[in-house]
Copies of this chain bind each other. A is one copy, B any other.
Amino acid sequence: MRWLTALILCFSVAVSADPLLVAKQRFTLDKFTTENGQTIAPVNIGWEAYGTLNSDKSNAILITHFFSGSSHAAGKYHTEDAAAGYWDAIIGPDKAIDTNKFYVISSDTLVNANVFDPKVITTGPATINPATSKPYGLAFPVVTIGDFVEVQKALLDSLGIDKLHAVIGPSMGSFQAIEWAVRYPDKVERLLPVIGSAYMDNYSAIKLQRWAYPILQDPAWQGGDYYDKGQPWQGLSTALAYITQDALHPDGFNPRYAAFSTDKALHQDIRALPQAWQQLLAQARQRAAKQDANHILYLVRASQLWRAGMGDNWQQALGRVKAKTLFLPASGDLLLPPALSQHSVKVMQAAGNSAQYGEIPGSFGHLDGVLGISTVASQISDFLK
């Protein structure tokens, strides 16, 4: 989406003329057993880091990425890169998450959406299964937010990092951050779920099923076994178009698209597709080039199944969190509305955690958690002290 890239660019240019240069690294786990008892061997994920790990390894902050995101949270790979990482406005030297003080680490999740981005390293249905020398396809096991966290834990263990000054993530990244604090209460000192929630409600989970639907209905999806025939582009692009809309508030969405009222063809022919729709789809098609349809289905499922602790009682699981906590939903978020963060905070407070709450202003809805993150930079910086 050109305008999003342009916006991200504006933010990063405004904040830093001399970008942090970063390199992608690879972490390999020879064997990983999922929460549901399946084995994946090997698991590879990409990661990057900003800042320097101190001698007692006590200054690490983990950043966990959103649904369509990757480990590229800050900096650029090359000075001439068009855009920096998605949270470059708050991660870097002297920024809210100050890389002069902190060692900030960010990793790609399992089943990352952007599996065909050369800068993303992930393991999922599009990965070659060593047992068959073909992509896993739907033979890849269902993975959960808990699995994402366990792979990150193995990465941090490999680096000898035993404690995290903070875990911070937007959207699906907030799910991972919360799960870290629930599973490893003694390892997580601060928890900052941005545009997030400690659980997925039915309404949002069904919305996500609506993202999956165009892929599942595309004849080119072939029951998930399309790797030698080409992707279900129509279904994938449509899914990505829906994600774009659902992540935006009407105030941010409306001005970007052609008005229906002046779209003359719509009056004359019921078969005519709205210009605004075609525009949205064309943007989505560009993004689809780096993505895999099955990976979207797995991310949908992982998100649908999310609740803190991954068990029968997310409220009780939240009670295990020892971290100092700050929830930061976006005021205009229609995808994971502030009510979900508010409910999460109340449950934590009832369990004795003095969780704090703030809102990110803006007109982009859910996306304000990425595009508008600089508006809460000082809150984040204070929270990390």
Which of A232-278 touch B at CB < 8 Å? 238, 242, 245, 248, 250, 253-254, 257-262, 266-271, 274, 276-277
In chain B, what residue has the closest Cβ to A34?
B267
Known A-B contacts A217-B217, A250-B339; the reply to A266 vs B203 at CB < 8 A is: no
Interface residues of A in 55-70 (CB under 8 A from B): none
- Judged by a CB distance under 8 angstroms, whether A45 is at the interface is no
Partner of A253, one of B203, B301, B307: B203
Query: Does B304 contact A206, Cβ atoms closer than 8 Å?
Result: no
Among B242, B245, B305, B339, contact of A203 (Cβ-Cβ < 8 Å): B245
Contact with B along A170-181 (1 / 0, CB 8 A): 000000000000
Instruction: For A107, list chain B residues within 8 Å (CB).
Output: none
- Tell me which residues across on chain B come within 8 A of A35, comparing CB atoms: 267
Pick from B140, B206, B214, B258: contact of A217, CB below 8 A.
B214
- A205: which B residues are within 8 A, CB to CB? 260, 274, 276
**Bound Cα distance from A266 to B300, whole angstroms:** 11
Is A203 within 8 A of B36, CB to CB? no
Contact with B along A144-170 (1 / 0, CB 8 A): 100000000000000000000000000
Give the residues in chain B near A199, CB-CB below 8 Å: 261
**Per a CB cutoff under 8 Å, which of B213, B266, B270, B307 touches A261?**
B307
* Chain A interface, number of residues (Cβ within 8 angstroms): 57
CB distance from A16 to the nearest CB of B (A): 33
Interface residues of A in 208-236 (CB under 8 A from B): 209-210, 213-214, 217-219, 224
The answer to whether A297 and B270 have CB atoms under 8 Å apart is yes
Q: Does A77 count as interface, using CB distance less than 8 angstroms?
A: no
Interface SS, A side: helix
Query: How long is the Cα–Cα vector from A213 to B235 in the complex, in angstroms?
Result: 11
* Contact between chains at B206 and A280 (CB < 8 Å): yes
A209-B267 in contact (CB<8A): no
Contact flag A305-B217 (CB < 8 Å), given A202-B254, A267-B144: no
Contact among B260, B266, B304, B339 for A266, CB-based, below 8 A: B304
A261 touches B312 (CB 8 A): yes
Given contacts A142-B269, A261-B305, contact A274 B312 (CB under 8 A): no
Give complex CA distance A248, B260 in Å. Answer: 25
A242 to B262, CA, bound (A): 26
A334, CB-defined interface residue at 8 Å:
yes
Taking CB atoms, residues of chain B closer than 8 Å to A218 are 217
**Is A298 among interface residues, defined by CB-CB distance under 8 A?**
yes
User: A376 within 8 Å of B by Cβ?
Assistant: no
Offer 20 A-B interface pairs, CB within 8 angstroms, sorted by A. Answer: A35-B267, A140-B270, A142-B268, A142-B269, A202-B258, A202-B276, A203-B245, A203-B253, A204-B250, A205-B260, A206-B253, A207-B245, A210-B210, A214-B217, A224-B270, A250-B337, A262-B312, A266-B304, A270-B301, A274-B304
Using a CB–CB distance below 8 Å, which chain A residues touch chain B?
35-36, 138, 140, 142, 144, 199-207, 209-210, 213-214, 217-219, 224, 238, 242, 245, 248, 250, 253-254, 257-262, 266-271, 274, 276-277, 280, 297-298, 301, 304-305, 307, 312, 314, 334, 337, 339
Known: A206-B257, A206-B276, A261-B307. 17 other contacts (CB 8 A): A36-B268, A138-B271, A142-B267, A142-B269, A202-B258, A202-B259, A203-B245, A203-B250, A203-B253, A205-B276, A210-B210, A217-B218, A219-B219, A250-B337, A250-B339, A266-B301, A266-B305
